[in-house]
Amino acid sequence: MKIYTLLLLAIFLQPFCIYFALYAKAKYSSENKPINQLVLGVTPSLAYLSADDFWGSFVLLFIVTAGSLLLSLLLNLRYVMTRKVNTSTILTSIISFLLVGGFFYWLIGHLIVENWYETYWPTLYFLGLLCCVFVIKIIEKKRQIEDGLSNMLVLALCVAASVISAFGDAFLLCTCINIFLLIPIGGAIISSDVDKTSAGGIAFFYGYVFIMSLPLSGLLYLALSSS
């Protein structure tokens, strides 16, 4: 996207962001918390859509954000803002959206490859294992089997999410994709038989198991790559 097109898009979106962040009243709460101002970090992160210079686009979009905030402060003399400008929240929002946008920009750039099967075969096999466990869970629900095998298999998949990626050529990328697949599908499997409190504790334990398996998977990947 050209810089001038990006600027027009930012100028169009910024009034809506300003209204939501500073003027819109809370719908479900009487408190005017600064969390609404997180939306102001969206505009500078649009620089990732630029086909030209990223940092040049970022500076221009940041100027649009800063200029709109200054204009809002001037308008505050006539139209009282619901919230005061929280500088730390806005800066945190800009940095957060830049980091998240940068991750997805990197992810999309690596997803587009010619020999996709050679790159993503660990994820394809992992998705197949997830589907098998999901089918087992459905069978357990149909037959009303309590304490079935599916929950233990999800625990094993927490380890397999990184271990199976070590055998491919894109360890980090496949591991990230596997986690994005495991969280919704595995979460649906383990939370179907327990209440929300227990599901949170189980999810924490499963996440801990995954984190503990990462160093071993990394060492396995390095060993396989060097051989």
How sure is the predictor about 80, in pLDDT bands with cuts at 50, 70 and 90?
low
Query: What digits encode the pLDDT tens for the residues 91-129?
Result: 887 888 888 888 777 777 766 766 777 888 898 899 899
Q: Where are the alpha helices (DSSP H) in 19-86?
A: 42-45, 54-75
pLDDT at site 83: 64
Helix (H, G, I), strand (E, B) or coil at 23: helix
Does the pTM surpass 0.85? The reply is no
Contact 55, 12 (CB under 8 A): no
The per-residue pLDDT of the chain, averaged, comes to 79
- Alpha carbon distance 210, 192 (integer Å): 21
Closest by CA position to 123, among listed 195, 77, 181: 181
DSSP string, 83-96: S---HHHHHHHHHH
pLDDT at 158 over 50: yes
